[in-house]
Structure 1
Amino acid sequence: MKLSKDLEKELNRQLNMELAAAYQYQAMAAHFEYIGLDGFAKWMNGHAAEEREHAQKFYDYILLRGGKVTLEALDAPKGTFATILEVFNDAMNHEKAVTASIEGIYALARSLNDFGAENFLNWFVTEQEEEEDLFDTIITKLNLFKVDENTAALYEFDEELGKAE
């Protein structure tokens, strides 16, 4: 079944949102590299790659359903941060925006009785629950251990994130 024009537009918007997330997370990784936090950088690079994978899933699905992929220009991402907590709060805010966007697309698919699109989007609904939980856990630990003020905790956290898969 061919995509409706409205759903095609929204899936393309989400594809571009995923690419923007990858771009932003890459900038965050570069910031961490610049300030010498290799573990944080490795972890954020992993998330940038994950966002590119998400974008590819949307790209492939749009084409599978006979739609036209539309890539938009990306704005320059924020690349300077005052604190570690600021980086993760920004990332969490972005993940919440992605969740809201996916839920909106899901609602559109449901209103169009596009069961295939609903099925495709189910994976992303679950993924976003996991992403928000992950970022929330990290933010909780950053606050609990006052990582921005505690160099020993910062070192340990950098080591921990560097080992994360």
Structure 2
Amino acid sequence: MKLNDELKALLNAQVNMEIEAAYQYKAMSAYFEGRELEGFAKWMDAQVQEELGHSKKFYDYLLKREGKIEYFELNKPKADFSSVKEVFEVALAHEQKVTASIENIYKVARNLGDFGVENFLDFFIEEQEEEEETVKKIIDKITLLNVDNKNVELYLLDKEMGERK
């Protein structure tokens, strides 16, 4: 079944937004590698792969629904941070932006009566809730432990972050 032109445009934008998220997470990983925080870098690299996977799902769905893939110019990611906490605050803001975009696509699909797109987006709605919750918990832990000002706490949290599968 062919997609409405508005939904095609929104899904294409989402393909690109997910790639841009991966680009941002890779810049965050590089920041952590530059600080010798391999656990945080590993966590961010896992995010890179997750975001690329999300982009591929949108890409595949768009093609399945007879859409054409369009790639946009990527914005340069933020790469300079003042603290570990700032990195995760930027990550949270980006995840909230992605959530808003997916919710907008869902609203348009609902208004157009495109139940296929709604059904497809259900996974991403749940995924975004999980993403935001995870990053918020990391920010809470960074704040509680004051890791930006305590080397032992930073070291221990870095080790914990590196345990992500």
TM-score, normalisation: structure 2: 0.99
1:140 alignment counterpart:
140
Unaligned residue ranges in structure 2 (runs of 5+) = none
1:99 alignment counterpart:
99
1:11 alignment counterpart:
11
1:146 to partner: Cα distance: 0.2
CA distance in 2, matches of 1:135, 1:31: 17
Letter in 2 for 1:55: S
Unaligned residue ranges in structure 1 (runs of 5+) = none
Aligned ranges for residues 58-77 of structure 1 at < 5 Å? 58-77=58-77
- Can you list the C-alpha shifts for 1:76-108, whole angstroms capped at 9, x where unaligned? 111111100000000000000111110000000
2:112 alignment counterpart:
112
Letter in 2 for 1:3: L
Letter in 2 for 1:81: F
CA distance in 2, matches of 1:77, 1:93: 13
CA distance in 2, matches of 1:126, 1:117: 15
RMSD over aligned CA atoms reads: 0.5
Aligned ranges for residues 45-64 of structure 1 at < 5 Å? 45-64=45-64
**Paired residue total:** 165
CA distance in 2, matches of 1:120, 1:148: 40
- Can you list the C-alpha shifts for 1:8-32, whole angstroms capped at 9, x where unaligned? 0000011111000000000000110
CA distance in 2, matches of 1:62, 1:75: 23
